[in-house]
Amino acid sequence: MPEERIKLYQLGTFAVGNRLLDPDERTVQSRSERSNTLTSGHRACQGCGEALGARYVLDAAMRATEGRLIAANATGCLEVFSTPYPESSWQLPWLHSLFGNAPAVASGIAAALKAQGRSDIRVVAQGGDGGTLDIGFACLSGMFERNDDVLYVCYDNEAYMNTGVQRSSATPPAARTANTKPVGDEPGNVFGQGKNAPLIAMAHGIPYVATATVANLHDLEHKVERAMELHGARYIHVLVPCPLGWGSASKETIRLARLAHETGLFPVIEAEHGEVVAVTKIRRPVPVEEYLRPQKRFAHLFGDPPRTDVVARVQAVADRNIRRFGLLEVD
Ligand SMILES: Cc1ncc(C[n+]2csc(CCOP(=O)(O)OP(=O)(O)O)c2C)c(N)n1
Ligand code: SF4
Ligand SMILES: [Mg+2]
């Protein structure tokens, strides 16, 4: 019988991939002693990438710190769906900051712990792309520049979802949002320079920067654990599809996150002290159209007439990423 190689994309879930790994290599989520940091009963939409990402990030950080962890959380979907006062789904010390100051609040917690000599307790901060790249950006840059001992995690769903899908500086070109309408020569969001938060974080020379998606949760856990081995300012940027804001089916969340990587639109990398140290290669390069089509926020590109010119510009963005980060696997 001819031999056929099987590629497993989702090593480390409850599914078959996990059982092929040694127990020590299995994901935090597959262990009975996982901390369930973000537990059931929260009010995220079905298929919410942010809820999934946060659960994996916090449980991995809890394991790495043996449960000695404090979180600061910016205003946004993650805070609203998890903590409608007086209820909360968090099972760790968790502070809701303002929309724009989670990095500063986390720095303050780290400073207070240092003053008390509590080097055993670690600090994470988390927020959406709006809270991180827009209103919280100055606080984040300060946290990086001072090298405060905080892991900051940005859950990037590419718009202000909590308040009704407004554009952020992480919204991709051509995407429809409540305030980037699909009209005119450049329908949807403009083709600007973009704001590449991981590269800007790297430019601060901080100990650790990584990107990840919810399509590879084992990789996400690994990066959180690596970050927790280090001290100083660390930054992880996680792509988390949002069915409501992207106009995608709930069941498509993982596939879209995978396609974002496989098109080259979302490079998955790891960097230490400003230098890229690892790149997740693309095993199956995919044209951007395959990623854009299932999302209603890009529906205006596939109408009558189709905007092939705009799709070509999005493809050029992906191609540039592929060249810039050497994303293609060379056999
Ligand atoms: C100073 C201030 N301005 C505006 C708001 C309203 N607000 C709360 S969350 C939010 C958007 C959050 O977007 P993002 O950070 O991307 O998180 P997401 O909800 O998408 O996860 C806005 C505009 C606020 N709480 N405070
Ligand atoms: S709007 Fe998006 S980010 Fe917010 S809970 Fe729903 S799916 Fe998650
Ligand atoms: Mg957002």
Q: What is the pLDDT of residues 195-240, one digit of tens each?
A: 999 999 999 999 999 999 999 998 999 999 999 999 999 999 999 9
Ligand nearest to the CA of 74: 1
- Each domain of the chain, given as residue ranges in start order, spans 13-325
**Any atom of ligand 1 within 6 Å of the Cβ of 79:** no
**Any atom of ligand 1 within 6 Å of the Cβ of 130:** yes
**Any atom of ligand 1 within 6 Å of the Cβ of 81:** no
Q: Please give the number of the atom of ligand 1 that sits closest to the Cα of 134.
A: 15
315-321 LR contacts (CB < 8 Å, sep 24+) = 315/287, 315/288, 315/289, 317/173, 317/265, 318/263, 318/264, 318/265, 318/288, 319/264, 321/264, 321/265, 321/267
Q: What are φ and ψ of residue 115, in 5° steps?
A: -60, -30
From atom 5 of ligand 2, which residue's Cα is the shortest distance away? 44
CA-nearest of 27, 23, 3 to 13 is 27
From atom 25 of ligand 1, which residue's Cα is the shortest distance away? 99
Within 8 A by CB and 6+ apart from 38, the residues are: 51, 54, 55, 58, 59, 82, 89, 90, 91
pLDDT digits (tens, 9 = 90+) for 12-47: 444 555 667 777 777 887 777 889 999 999 999 999
Q: 7 pLDDT band (50/70/90 cuts)?
A: low
pLDDT at position 17 is 54
Is the domain 13-325 a CATH 3.40.50.2300 member?
no
Is there a contact between 243 and 252 (Cβ–Cβ < 8 Å)? yes
Q: Please give the number of the atom of ligand 2 that sits closest to the Cα of 161.
A: 1
DSSP secondary structure, 165-182, as one string: -B--TTPPTT--BTTB-S
Q: For residue 157, report the distance from its CA to the centre of ligand 3, in Å.
A: 5
Task: Specify which residues 153 forms β-bridges with.
Answer: 126, 236
Percent of the chain with pLDDT over 70: 94
